[in-house]
Structure 1
Amino acid sequence: MKPRRIGLFGYAKLGMEVANHLCRTGCELLVVDRDDGNLARAAERGLQTLKCDYTDDLELARAGVGGGLDLIFVLLPEDAENVFLTISARALAPRLTIVAVSDSPGSAAKLLAAGADKVIDPFEIAARRITDLIRKPLVVDMLDQTVFGQADLELAEVEVLPGSGLAGLALGAVDLREGYELVVIGAVVDGAERHLRFAAEDAGYRLRRGDVLLVAGPSGDVVRFRADFAPPRTDGQR
């Protein structure tokens, strides 16, 4: 299966952390920035880089917006820059998946209106975290020591493709713990209204082409699982 092409716009502190995690997913990552220092730090880590003026549509197209990129992360330091880049990217690529980060309270709505598919609001996440620490301190402590304490843990989406060997399997029969150390959470069912079927509740549901299997586990096992269940190559494919 062809790896996803992801563009990461902005390689400051948050961008560095996002890049570290993306590199473990097997995607093709391009770091885009206009700061020479940020680009140099990315290049030192072996990442593909490109200097780009986000206000120039021709340069955005050269970076792959509207062409080679499947998804972009908008992680620039200022909300105004993130909104402008989101508007420009959406105009160039109506089907591109855009994930943006809001840098101030209230900016999430502006980013969604600008065309972002998903907005990550650090203020909302922090507020929930503080509330959980107060109301459920033991649960938070357990998660920190297990799930969030594992830097290599990944929550991944694996599309069910024709010929992959997953189509037709019952959700409860997809046991990945022995061969891959992965846990199946469920599947997002393809259709007019996509919805999540949990493995614990809908074990008898049979996976279909276009469904998305949700798994959790070490990133290396996710990469192996994707490779093993990729559809077989046909004559003429390279």
Structure 2
Amino acid sequence: MPRSLQRLIFATALFIISMSLGAVGYIIIEGFAPLDAIYMAVITFATVGYNEVNTLSSDGKIFTIIFIMVNLGIFAYTVSVLSSFFFEGELRRVFKNIITSRDVKKLKNHVIVCGFGRNGIKVCEELRNDNIEFIVIESNSEIISSFPEDKNYFFINGNATLDEVLMEAGIKEASTIICSLPLDADNVFITLTARELNKKMKIISKANEPTSEKKLYRAGANYVVMPDRLGGIHMANLITKPYVIEFLELLNGVGDSKLVLEEVSHDKLKLEYQNKSLRELDVRNKTGATIIAFKDEVEGFIFNPHSEKAVQKGDVLIVLGNTKNIVQFKQVFVV
């Protein structure tokens, strides 16, 4: 439950308890009727200064003094909570969190992104571009509140190392979890927990230190990415292989003419194209795209596959082309 909603429930409970005790006190001490007792409790709590129902006895006055002193703090706390809800947009955020929780329960085979830092933001952008459903777990509420609402990201404000937070994110129904927290120890802990909660899911984790890489694999990660190492290799290759890097940047969407790599499994091909050879598919002439690699369960990856190679069950095609080529490919060949 969101902390803001807990505060509202707590403030409401304090108010009800205070009113109940005040009304009971006036009934016992002054013999007021229930409605008069509730009225006295409310105007005393709110310190509005209305006239008393009846003249109070000495015991009634002492009770009223104590009641006012005790309720000054409760009144201030209640007003602050209500103000945050109605004037600071807290109520809208609570309803949004409730709607998000409801929508998260409907997600299947989604991606969980732990951490919304530099790496996490980039991951989410790429997932959104490919229309892949995802949910973000971020412990810093300020980062979440400052993010533009029109992008409609699913956020959970919580600690991703906790089992209950991962369960709230639907980890048992998720296909992949990406651990991109700043500390390697947290990523190792999330990996261990995620692997225990979902044996079949794919786990991708970031690592800053070389010693953390083996620990993450032992913890159950399928892939470990080290941004600093990749960055260093990239900078060195800009000197030794500048045109290779320029080509790879085109694949990553950097540059004027963006190239796209797409993977298509045998099962996603239309029925009439399954179990056909690459020559029979004639992908290049039909779509302008090119099959640059082929993966089967026996030989693994085959680069520049022979035209007589048949696409059979379990095989995956790696297709290269610009955006228009890939769209045409999907229209022609993919279910």
TM-score (norm 1): 0.79
Q: Name 2:315's counterpart in structure 1.
A: 211
Find out whether 1:187 has 2:291 as its counterpart. no
Q: Distance in 2 between matches of 1:131 and 1:228?
A: 40
Residue 202 of structure 1 aligns with an amino acid whose one-letter code is H
Find out whether 1:114 has 2:219 as its counterpart. yes
**Richer in strand (by share):** 1
Residue 209 of structure 1 aligns with an amino acid whose one-letter code is K
Superposed, 1:123-202 pairs within 5 Å as 123-141=228-246, 143-144=248-249, 146-148=250-252, 149-150=254-255, 153-161=259-267, 164-165=270-271, 166-177=273-284, 182-190=289-297, 193=298, 195-198=300-303, 200-202=304-306
Number of residue equivalences: 225
Report the CA distance between 1:194 and its aligned residue: 6.1
SS in 2 for 1:86: helix
Stretches of structure 2 lacking an aligned partner (at least 5 in a row): 1-106
Cα distance change, pair 51–172 in 1 and its aligned pair in 2 (3 A): farther
Q: Name 2:110's counterpart in structure 1.
A: 5
Q: Name 1:49's counterpart in structure 2.
A: 155
SS in 1 for 2:311: coil
Q: Larger RCO: Structure 1 or Structure 2 (Cα < 8 Å, ≥ 6 residues apart)?
A: 1
Report the CA distance between 1:160 and its aligned residue: 1.5
- Aligned-pair Cα RMSD in Å: 3.0
Identity %: 25
Superposed, 1:62-141 pairs within 5 Å as 62-66=168-172, 68-141=173-246
Q: Which has the larger radius of gyration?
A: 2
Cα distance change, pair 142–189 in 1 and its aligned pair in 2 (3 A): closer
The 8 Å contact of residues 294 and 305 in structure 2, kept in 1 or not, is answered as no
What CA deviation, in whole Å up to 9, does each residue of 1:19-69 have, x standing for no partner? Answer: 111112121122222221333326452222222332321321221212x21
Q: Distance in 1 between matches of 2:129 and 2:319?
A: 15
What CA deviation, in whole Å up to 9, does each residue of 1:152-179 have, x standing for no partner? Answer: 5443322221772342121344444566
Stretches of structure 1 lacking an aligned partner (at least 5 in a row): 232-238
What CA deviation, in whole Å up to 9, does each residue of 1:91-135 have, x standing for no partner? Answer: 111110011111223321111111100111223323322332333
TM-score (norm 2): 0.58
Q: Distance in 2 between matches of 1:223 and 1:58?
A: 40
Find out whether 1:59 has 2:59 as its counterpart. no
Q: Distance in 2 between matches of 1:162 and 1:19?
A: 25
Q: Distance in 1 between matches of 2:220 and 2:154?
A: 26
SS in 2 for 1:106: helix
Q: Name 2:79's counterpart in structure 1.
A: none
Report the CA distance between 1:222 and its aligned residue: 4.7
Find out whether 1:19 has 2:119 as its counterpart. no
